[in-house]
Amino acid sequence: MHKLIFATNNKNKVLEVRSILGNRFSILSLKEAGINITIPEPHDTLQDNAAEKAQTIFNLTGTNCFSEDTGLEVASLNNLPGVLSARYAGNNSTDEQNIAKLLHNLTGKDRRARFRTVICLIWDSKKYFFEGVCEGSIASTPFGNSGFGYDPIFIPNGGNDRTFAQMTIEEKSQFSHRKKATNKLIQFLLQYGQNKA
Ligand code: IMP
């Protein structure tokens, strides 16, 4: 089976990607690969941050790996929080603080938003990028207890006015940015990775 390190410490992201990949690939989280580091995200674009995370792990392990970076982009806020999504309310801010700041800044503004995920795969020392977008809108107040991050305030288009946090992982995956990017990764691996892992 293909073995790949997923360069993340986020358990929810690992769960989501595993539920999409099924048993076609064996995904190791950083912890499972015995790597205990926090990789910085210093860049202005999701693509550059994803590349930095994958390259860091590739340099450490020499193993095929991938990473992803995701941002919530709100058009009426000039696409913020975007690449700053994890630290929108300040360094080390909690999900609750980020959500509170976003809801405050959105008062009286257009609430359309999208999640965008960029995956960087390092395969045979080369980098490949895959993007997934989920269009939706920001709820007036948080709803639901599932998921993570901004899930309680993000309502995907076509999701019957439910937030991601009101959905199971499988339901979220029907719409999600991460699922779309991961599907492109799978297509690549199935096409080019057959005999190489
Ligand atoms: P990063 O990709 O780990 O840098 O995530 C950036 C920020 O977006 C963090 O605050 C995450 O919690 C949040 N985030 C990433 N993916 C999702 C998602 O699928 N749903 C909700 N929030 C997310």
Measure the CA–CA gap between 63 and 28, rounded to whole angstroms: 11
Q: What's the CA gap between 181 and 20, in Å, rounded?
A: 11
**What total number of domains does the chain contain?**
1
Residue 153: pLDDT above 70?
yes
Distance 115 CA to ligand 1 centre (A): 9
Is 69 among the catalytic positions?
A: yes
Statement: residue 192 has pLDDT above 80 = no
| pLDDT tens digits, one per residue of 10-35 | 998 998 888 888 777 889 999 999 99
pLDDT(1) > 80: no
Closest Cα to atom 13, ligand 1: which residue? 149
Q: Which residues pair with 130 in a beta bridge?
A: 119
∠ CA(18), CA(20), CA(22), 5° rounding?
A: 65
pLDDT the model gives residue 189:
85
Centre a 10 Å sphere on the Cβ of residue 192 and count the other Cβ atoms it contains. 12
Nearest atom within ligand 1 for CA of residue 177: 19
Q: Can you give the CATH number for the domain in which 59 is found?
A: 3.90.950.10
Query: Rounded to the nearest 5°, which phi and psi values hold at 177?
Result: -50, -45
Range of the domain at 182: 2-196
**Residues 84 and 74: beta-carbon distance below 8 Å:** no
Each residue's pLDDT tens digit, 117-150: 999 999 989 999 999 999 999 999 999 999 999 9
Ligand 1 centroid, distance to 141 Cα (angstroms): 18
Return d(Cα 195, Cα 185) in angstroms, integer: 16
Which residue among 69, 110, 124, 161 is the active-site one?
Answer: 69
| Ligand 1 contacts CB of residue 130 (under 6 A) | no
